[in-house]
Structure formats: structure tokens, C-alpha cells
Structure 1
Amino acid sequence: MPGCTNYPSDVATASNTFDPLFRRVLWIALIANAGMFLVEIIASQLGDSISLQADALDFFSDATNYAISLFVLGMALHLRARASLI
């Protein structure tokens, strides 16, 4: 029923749309994390460092998360919810 909550009536529709600025920020984060992955994986090989390799894999997992987020951003709400379980 309208007016039964403190939330505006357009909250449900707003959650199904995406802001182009949000998409751009995700792209920037994806590129930064992928770049740092490459830098650290090369440095870990050159320096024979397991800790740098582990940190590089953390950057890789972050970049993968951003890529999945970008992929499902324009999809329906139930598909985005399923992607959060990956």
C-alpha cells in the first residue's frame, strides 16, 4: 500500500536502474585492479616472492568481482541477486 513506509514510491524502480557514473567507477576499479595484478604477478616472478604472488591473486579476485558486477549491472534484479552468490 502506498504511504505505509517512510520510503518514496520509486525506490523499487530505482534499484532496477543503473547510474552511468557507477558503471564508469566500476570500469576504473576493474582496470586498476587488473593492472596491479599484472604488475605484481610480474614482480613476484622476478623477485621469486610468494607473498607478492598472493597479493597479485587478491587483485585478480577483486578484478573478477568488478567484471561480474559490470556484466550483471543492467540485468534484472533476480539475476543480479544470483550473481552475488558466485
Structure 2
Amino acid sequence: MTWSWEYVPDEETVAAGAPTAFLAEVEKKADELVRAAEVLHLHGAGYQGADEGAKHAFVAGGFFVYMVTPRSELVSIWQITPDPLT
């Protein structure tokens, strides 16, 4: 298995109407989170602990809610919130 990230339930639902530049920042940060999770959870599929729960990541133009699931080797993005002032 290989670590990855995805929008949950899907990109169309989560990212609908978000500015392109903001989405680029979200996806850049998601790539960083995947690399960090891969290092932190070297044996992700065999992970026995509890998931870390939902977290927030702040990027230029807003923030997003994500969760790291080591057993699935997945970073899932549930919600994105663009800053209405940008």
C-alpha cells in the first residue's frame, strides 16, 4: 500500500466553487501531510492505535479539515473553507 490523500466523499462535493489558487494551496499542503504521515507511521497498514481524529490545516486563502488514517495509509480531506475576504 502507498500513502495518498483524497477528498471525502469526493472532490466535486468538497471543493465545489472554491478558488483555484486556494485549491492549489490545499493540495500542496495535503502532499506535505502525506509525506509527514508516511514518515511518522512507517508501518501504516499494521498500525494498532486509534486514529488521531480531525485536524485543521491553515493555508493561504483559508483552511481545511482532514484526518490521517494510518491503517489505510490515507489523509482524507473532509471540508475546505476559503477565506471570504481574499
Q: Which has the higher contact order (CA 8 A, sep 6+)?
A: 2
Higher helix proportion, which one? Answer: 1
Taking structure 2 as the reference length, what is the TM-score of the superposition?
Answer: 0.36
Higher strand proportion, which one? Answer: 2
Question: Over alpha carbons, which structure has the higher Rg?
Answer: 1
